[in-house]
Amino acid sequence: MIKYNALGLLINVLILSVLFSTAYPKGEINASSEEEGAASYELMFERVWSVYDEYYPYFIHKQINWDSLRFEYQPAFATCNSDSQFVRLLSNLLANLRDFHVGLRLPNGTTICPTFDYPRLIRYNMDWECLPNYVPGIRESEPLFYGITGDNFGYIAIPSWTEQAVEQFNSILFSMQHTDGLIIDVRMNAGGSEIAAQKIASRFATHNAIYAYHRFRQGSRHDDFGALGARNIAPVYDWRYLKPVALLVGVITMSSSESFVLMMDRFPQVVTIGEPTRGCSGNPTELELPNGIKYSVPRWVAFRANHQIFEGIGIAPDIYVPYTDKYKASGTDPILERAIESITSRLKIDNPSISSLPTEYQLNQNYPNPFNTSTLIKFELKERALVSLHISNALGQEIVQLVNEVKEAGTHSVTWDGQDKFGQPTTSGVYLYKIQANDFKDVKKMILLR
């Protein structure tokens, strides 16, 4: 039996702990101060401001004028006369960074996240209490929750990335070798150890792939960065799960969980379903002031494999399924339902004998439309065909080709991330997507809104 209230409390704690989690240590920030032990609040403010000025990586991406904020807040810190006032002022200053990895930890253990928009962040796009409706007999193997649906699809919920989670996941996955598909739920996962996430993702690796890049600040200018570092995922186990997988994501999916999404996105049997992730990756470190107050400093700019920054933007799922309170009231989970449908559909494509194939060629309307970050395009083939599908602007000029290969009969889908063939973001406007499969041709319009 799931302990819903205890689980909700655990997840809230994990969300706050993301502020101070670090997955890839990169040396230590030199934040020593000659005013140790007798530092005034103004000097401590200057210390914090200088550390962020030297190491924080997202000033340019977020268009933040850090110098201007220094002059705006300096007078208030000069007259500050208590720790409580100092914390309040510092929290207000750091809120301007709009960064979920920026936070304060007080000597009594209290954690403060200036950017923490509690009502929005805590709006899970799921309801734990309705899970048994889809996964009868769901049970806990701390820290995971798992079971098997009536369709013989495994279900594993991963609330955080820890070595204990890796150990339990391996054991559970081995017990699910007989299943026809797998649903992995990280809608409640706010992060943890990226190394642990890699170990779990490796269970699905079909090949060696770069899933993300990062760059650390290196220099006094806000646009001074060191070399680009690549992060890889590769098969490391003899046995891997290569059947259809649905990965459920949402607004709480952040930090190392977003890295996990990027890892899984590299493998053909995995489809992400749900709502866009948070957009939060910083590899923070924690520093301490003379009065015992600690503060976290993000250190890298994170990029997707296509070199796109996702901080503050998030990662759009392959299949977008909105979640509203009406579903919680009705005890239904549209994202989990869509996952079951997706796996069932893919199994029918892989095994045509168990399903009737399309009788006509068809190009479906993209979804969502209009869209902001990415959109899904589906098409149906009544027989094996050489398929060409490309995007063009309103003038008919080709932007990017999404498909140019032979496809088997069945229903297929492809995602466009709004970028051109050079990996550059396209502007808002009307775009055309055109398909040709054997003698079949069709074209439809879609709208990109930045």
DSSP 167-185: HHHHHHHHHTTT-SEEEEE
- Over residues 300-352, the pLDDT tens digits come to 999 999 999 999 999 999 999 999 888 877 788 999 999 999 998 888 766 65
Residues with Cβ < 8 Å from 40, sequence gap 6 or more? none
Q: What is the pLDDT of residues 8-30, one digit of tens each?
A: 444 454 555 555 555 555 545 66
- Quick one: pLDDT band at residue 174, thresholds 50, 70, 90? very high
Residues 67-82: pLDDT tens digits?
999 999 999 999 999 9
Whether the per-residue pLDDT at 52 is higher than 70: the answer is: yes
Strand bridging mode 209-216 / 229-233: antiparallel
How high is the mean pLDDT of the chain?
A: 87
In this prediction, residues 38-52 reach a mean pLDDT of 91
Task: State pTM to two decimals.
Answer: 0.74
**Paired tokens of 122:** 């805590």
Between the alpha carbon of residue 219 and those of residues 57, 216, 224, 281, the distances in Å are: 11, 10, 5, 21
The per-residue pLDDT for 397 is 92
CA distance 99 to 52: 12
**What pLDDT band is residue 367 in, cutting at 50, 70 and 90?**
confident
Better pLDDT: 368 or 316: 316
At residue 30, the pLDDT reads 60
Contact of 138 with 131, CB cutoff 8 Å: yes
pLDDT of residue 115: 66
Q: What percent of the chain has pLDDT over 90?
A: 66
Residue 363 corresponds to which amino acid?
Answer: L
Q: Whose structure tokens read 């190491």? A: 55
Tell me how far apart the alpha carbons of residues 302 and 43 are, in angstroms, rounded to a whole number: 31
Residue 48 confidence (pLDDT) above 90: yes
Domain boundaries, the chain: 1-355, 357-448
Q: Which CATH architecture has domain 1-355?
A: Alpha-Beta Complex (3.90)
- DSSP code for 149: -
Distances (CA, A) of 403 to 163, 363, 436: 39, 13, 10
**What is the model's pLDDT at position 256?**
96
Task: Report pLDDT for 410.
Answer: 82
Q: In this prediction, what percent of the chain has a pLDDT beyond 70?
A: 88
* Residue with token string 């269970």: 203
Q: Which of 187, 96, 104, 140 lies closest to 3 in space, CA to CA? A: 140
pLDDT band at 123 (very low <50, low <70, confident <90, very high): low
For domain 357-448, the CATH class is mainly beta
Mean pLDDT calculated for residue range 155-176: 96
- Separation of alpha carbons 209 and 199, rounded Å: 14
Q: How far apart (Å, rounded) are the C-alpha atoms in residues 177 and 315?
A: 29
